[in-house]
Amino acid sequence: MSKTFYITTPIYYVNARPHIGHAYTTIACDTIARRHRMFGDDTWFLTGTDEHGQKIERAAQAAGKTPQQFTDEISAEFRALWQHMGLTPDDFIRTTSARHQQGVQALWRKIRDNGYIYKGTYTGQYCVSDELYVDAEPGAPCPDCGRPTETVQEENYYFKLSAFQDQLVRLYTEQPDFIRPETRRNEVLSFVRGGLRDLSISRSTFSWGIPVPDDPKHVVYVWLDALANYITALGYGSSDASKFDKYWPADVHMIGKEIVRFHCVYWPAFLLAAGLPLPKSITAHGWLLFEESKMSKSRGNIVRAETIVDVLGTDALRYFLLREVVFGQDGSFSFDALVQRYNSDLANGLGNLASRTLTMIARYFKGEVPYPSNTAHTPADAAIAETATKAIADYGTLFDQFQFSRALETAWGLVSAVDKYIVENEPWSLGEKKDRDEESRSRLATVLYTSAEALRIVTALAHPVMPDATAKIWAQLGLGDIRKFDLAGLQWGQLRLGTKLGDVQAVFPRADKSAVERMQTMEKVEDVVDVLGGGATGVSPVQPSAVRPPAAPKPAVAIPDGKISIDDFAKVELRVAQVKTAERVKGADKLLRLEVDLGTEVRQLVAGIAEAYEPEALIGRKVVIVANLAPRKLRGLESNGMIVAAAPEGGKPVLASFLEDVPVGTRLK
Ligand code: MSP
């Protein structure tokens, strides 16, 4: 019987559109799941979206949407992006789904019936951004993220977290691999040893959540709701427990380092309270940094995966993130580094090895894998076989410890060794020799067989990391569908003699300088669109080719697809305003702070047009603004409305204006 393997990502908040930080965790899990599938394990890979709580409720409000409408849209974006990137989760759980709600309520009842829930009053600080109760004085910032906290006083249900302190300490010490890496384990251990206080697990001042069983004035605390996804997705609390019985406990919960406490303290305590088995391990990776700080929507420094996929294909980002960042530590993303790695390791590395080896076999042996000679061999051939055998073993060990970067380095060590081997053995000279004697032909066969076999091995090892390109190389090697290959049996010498090659084509076309510029421009356009009103609070008009916005809910009166009613348009209050003051926003290259006169009032706006307009040139200019947009903060400045501009793809924004003079405050209809 095959082994089961269950791996999960965190479920992502839907207050922001996905970026490569989210993609990072999902790619790592996808890669691990693929390797397990190649070993024949019965694998289950889960991801999803976290859609309840005050943070989401407020984001929906700011976007002028109902929470359900808002979460439907952004959750659909996550799913569409994962599909566009070729990721292969087996399930996608939404916390607003009926199956999840049912499971959470079942878990609550179980914990309650086991005596671990009681009622009390919470007075203290709450950080909405982290959805975390914090120990802080009123008015003090959140000790975790530094954002302002809010004072809440509520009658709440409490979870007896304090009852689990000793059990948790024992767990971390007896099972050192429960939390990886060790630095995180030590942090958690000292946090728990410092003493655990009971945890408030319900809220009653807002309603966007799962009702507490038998007391629906309360909703379940969003972290209890969210963590439960790992079992509700398997059918916990439903009439069909077959998946739960099969896959639980999870082998790996993969998370970012900022949510370690929730996963390593609260989650096991909830499970212990419910009498359920604990996950086998929790692995926390570091942060992806961009422009020196953690990539996140609130910092406004995000890069979208679509941009990279559209320019370099689906494999480049996967390879880059796993090769460049030491898993567990923070790592910086830059377009330059991405393109450099792509060219050196993929276009010139694996891609070049594949095309030169396969082309020579096509040319000198009519596209059939040649027979290595018994006599015409040298120690150099044996050395390649040895390097390959060692690479298979080392790659496996390192990969299983999630040391992806070192694992790939080992495999690419084989690529460089074969490159050198080819240069030194000059198969082209042997092949082009005018009167090719038997000996040079045998030698040529050995060199090309050795190169092709090494190529096959690197391709098999790299498949979970780069599913697309490796599947193509595998087919070009004449080996069929790589997904059917049993990785457990990989060893030197399996390439069958006489195998007929498929069509030879380059898999990693070299990226020229313009690739970096293209990606940067695509991101700039996205930024402007975000500032102009798309982004997290709406669906951007600039959608990458394959990730389309989800369809809007159908109105009662039949309106053709893609159209809106006049009533819908009338909701948008467009007005003429005159710029009074304009200045650059410190630390934000693209933003201007404007004060505009609407006739009835002067307002502050923040607009992403700094790269297209000098502030001085705007003073006195009449512009069009969306006057009834909910206020939002950009770089700490409140923006009351949105300036309307055309956002040409790849270019700078152009403000909407009039040929005739129009009085300030006039409405556009
Ligand atoms: N909804 C919670 C998780 C609940 S799990 C039961 C949450 N969501 S989140 O949208 O903020 O996603 C956080 C996760 O996304 C991180 O833990 C990490 O896996 C990934 N990342 C988001 N930004 C990231 C970086 N800049 N760098 C690396 N990973 C990042 O927390």
Q: What is the mean pLDDT of residues 249-267?
A: 98
Q: Is the CB of 226 under 6 A from ligand 1?
A: yes
- Atom 29 in ligand 1: which residue has the minimum CA distance? 21
- What phi and psi values does residue 267 have, to the nearest 5 degrees? -60, -50
CA within 13 Å, CB half, 247: 26
pLDDT grade, residue 106 (50/70/90)?
Answer: very high
Q: What is the mean pLDDT of residues 393-404?
A: 98
**Residue 21 pLDDT > 50:** yes
Summarize pLDDT for 410-429 with one digit per residue, the tens: 999 999 999 999 999 999 99
Q: Is the CB of 290 under 6 A from ligand 1?
A: no
Q: Is the CB of 22 under 6 A from ligand 1?
A: yes
Average pLDDT, the chain: 90
Q: Is the CB of 21 under 6 A from ligand 1?
A: yes
- Atom 5 in ligand 1: which residue has the minimum CA distance? 10
Summarize pLDDT for 139-198 with one digit per residue, the tens: 888 888 888 899 888 889 999 999 999 999 999 999 999 999 999 999 999 999 999 999
Which residue has tokens 């908040």? 13
314-324 and 467-476 helices, crossing angle to 10°? 110
CA of 122 to the centre of ligand 1 (A): 27
Q: What's this model's pTM, rounded to 2 decimal places?
A: 0.80
Summarize pLDDT for 209-220 with one digit per residue, the tens: 999 999 999 999
- Atom 25 in ligand 1: which residue has the minimum CA distance? 21
Ordered by where they begin, the domains of the chain are 334-489 (1.10.730.10), 568-668 (2.40.50.140)
Q: Is the CB of 364 under 6 A from ligand 1?
A: no
- Atom 20 in ligand 1: which residue has the minimum CA distance? 22
Which residue has tokens 């009658």? 155
Q: What is the mean pLDDT of residues 263-281?
A: 98
C-alpha distances (whole Å) from 343 to each of 339, 354, 366, 405, 506 are 6, 14, 30, 17, 13
CA of 49 to the centre of ligand 1 (A): 11
CA within 13 Å, CB half, 204: 17
CA of 355 to the centre of ligand 1 (A): 39
Summarize pLDDT for 648-666 with one digit per residue, the tens: 777 888 899 887 788 888 8
User: Do the beta carbons of residue 114 and residue 192 sit within 8 Å?
Assistant: no
**Residue 538 pLDDT > 50:** no
**Residue 552 pLDDT > 50:** no
Rounded CA-CA distance 186/165 in Å is 15
Q: Is the CB of 219 under 6 A from ligand 1?
A: no
Summarize pLDDT for 32-51 with one digit per residue, the tens: 999 999 999 999 999 999 99
CA of 299 to the centre of ligand 1 (A): 14
CA of 255 to the centre of ligand 1 (A): 7
Q: Give the helix ranges, DSSP H, for 39-159.
A: 54-62, 67-84, 98-113
Q: Is the CB of 12 under 6 A from ligand 1?
A: yes
Q: What is the mean pLDDT of residues 309-329?
A: 97
Range with the poorest average pLDDT among 125-134, 138-147, 539-548: 539-548
pLDDT grade, residue 528 (50/70/90)?
Answer: low
CA of 636 to the centre of ligand 1 (A): 22
* Beta pairing class for 179-180 and 282-285: parallel
Among residues 439, 481, 436, the alpha carbon closest in space to that of 459 is found at: 481
**Residue 585 pLDDT > 60:** yes
Q: What is the mean pLDDT of residues 511-530?
A: 82
Peptide bond into 249 cis (omega under 30): yes
CA of 266 to the centre of ligand 1 (A): 17
Q: Is the CB of 93 under 6 A from ligand 1?
A: no
- Atom 6 in ligand 1: which residue has the minimum CA distance? 227
CA of 351 to the centre of ligand 1 (A): 33
- Atom 14 in ligand 1: which residue has the minimum CA distance? 256
- Atom 28 in ligand 1: which residue has the minimum CA distance? 287
Atom in ligand 1 nearest the alpha carbon of residue 229: 6
- Atom 19 in ligand 1: which residue has the minimum CA distance? 256
User: Do the beta carbons of residue 428 and residue 436 sit within 8 Å?
Assistant: no
Q: Is the CB of 294 under 6 A from ligand 1?
A: yes
Q: Would you call 377 helix, strand, or coil by DSSP? A: coil
Tell me the best of 15, 220, 259, 263 to mutate to test the pocket of ligand 1, counting ligand atoms within 8 Å of each CB and taking the most. 259
Q: What is the mean pLDDT of residues 578-604?
A: 86
